[in-house]
Structure 1
Amino acid sequence: MQNKEKVLGKERRKLILRTLQEAGRPITGRELGELTNVSRQVIVSDVNLLKAKKQPIIATNQGYLYTALPETAEEYEKIIVCRHEPEATEEELNILVDHGVTVKDVRVEHLVYGDVRASIMVSNRQEVKAFIQQIQQANAPYLLNLDESGIHLHTISAPREEQLIEAEQALKKAGFLVE
């Protein structure tokens, strides 16, 4: 549903926040811009203002995502350490999502910058495929390339702890898990 008039300032940010909270999926800056009749650049500024006010919004390769979980939902989370060649990234992510796991981010330790983290937010094979395609189309390097050893960390989450354990076992079997 698109408004005919430009939504201004505070009201626009309230609408953006409500839209993200209710969506349960990433929403692109373009979609939010169409909803409020402003440019994507204005949306980027608004989202940054919302983040500065401690709203749990992250930018993913699929759009903006409100990350607060409903209070009734219990989510298990873990950080795992992996190592593989860049060409194995899709396989690694598919192993994780095939176990019902959401891969939230990737993190590497950079010689100059320290910890460098990027959001991934994939939870099924379709999202993994779209993520890999975006990397390839942009000719962007994988973050794991910043560490010459290929070691990187992922924050993973799942509704059941067993899913995390099973995913780790599958990564170990594939030779990706660093213990």
Structure 2
Amino acid sequence: MNAVARRERLMELLEKADGAVSATALAHTLSVSRQIIVGDIALLRAAGERITATPRGYVLDRSAAGELRTVACRHTTPEDMANELNIMVDNGCTVVNVIVDHRVYGQLVGQLDLSSRYDVSVFIQKVVEHGAKPLSDLTGGIHLHTLRCPDESAYRRVTEALQEAGILLT
């Protein structure tokens, strides 16, 4: 299969996927190396394809329905991070990303795409396994999350629950 046909097949696989697909899984399916997939994704993005890299793999941005809202949070423990994310997904919102404002690099964004407790648990497990620090460690725990909420009431439930948990930055 030539490179053009491989990229077309790659897009088909992403379009049919129910969730994120890892570069390793795509490489296995297309019988190429993971690095070839990473390069193909970069070229597809440069060509205008809306592919997002998440902790679980690549997804197509299908511009899901819902209101995009931002919440400002502060936490300092891994337990608070898990609690914060679970509050958001338990109230029906998808945690699209995390954003910190770094003194040197400016705005840093980490794509999350978390919609369920399962997604949160997989994310937290990866953080632990890799000894990763949350982006919010760079800013004393202060960070933003972009949420995709089905409606205004879901957003209000999230902010009220984060306020009760002492995580919402006000």
Secondary structure class of the residue paired with 1:117: strand
Cα distance, 1:86 vs structure 2: 3.0
Cα distance between partner residues in 2 of 1:160 and 1:54: 29
Aligned counterparts, 1:77-156, within 5 A = 77-87=68-78, 88-148=80-140, 150-156=141-147
Structure 1: 5+ residue stretches without partners: 1-6
Give the aligned residue type for 2:144.
L
Q: 1:172 aligns with which of 137, 158, 163?
A: 163
Residue 32 of structure 1 aligns with which residue? 26
Residue 10 of structure 2 aligns with which residue? 16
TM-score (norm 1): 0.90
Cα distance, 1:19 vs structure 2: 1.2
Residue 4 of structure 1 aligns with which residue? none
1:51 aligns with 2:45: yes
Structure 2: 5+ residue stretches without partners: none
Query: Are 1:86 and 1:142, in contact at CA under 8 Å, matched by a contact in 2?
Result: no
After superposing on structure 2, the runs of 4+ consecutive aligned residues of structure 1 that deviate more than 2 Å are 158-161
Secondary structure class of the residue paired with 1:178: coil
Cα distance, 1:124 vs structure 2: 0.6
Give the aligned residue type for 1:79.
T
Query: Are 1:107 and 1:115, in contact at CA under 8 Å, matched by a contact in 2?
Result: yes
TM-score (norm 2): 0.95
Give the aligned residue type for 2:165.
A
1:6-41 Cα distance to aligned partner (Å, 9 max, x none): x32111111111211221300011111122111110
Cα distance between partner residues in 2 of 1:8 and 1:27: 21
Cα distance, 1:75 vs structure 2: 1.5
Give the aligned residue type for 1:57.
I
- The alignment's C-alpha RMSD in Å is 1.2
Deviates more, 1:92-101 or 1:166-175: 166-175
Query: Are 1:24 and 1:66, in contact at CA under 8 Å, matched by a contact in 2?
Result: no
Give the aligned residue type for 2:137.
N
Cα distance between partner residues in 2 of 1:146 and 1:60: 20
Cα distance between partner residues in 2 of 1:60 and 1:143: 14
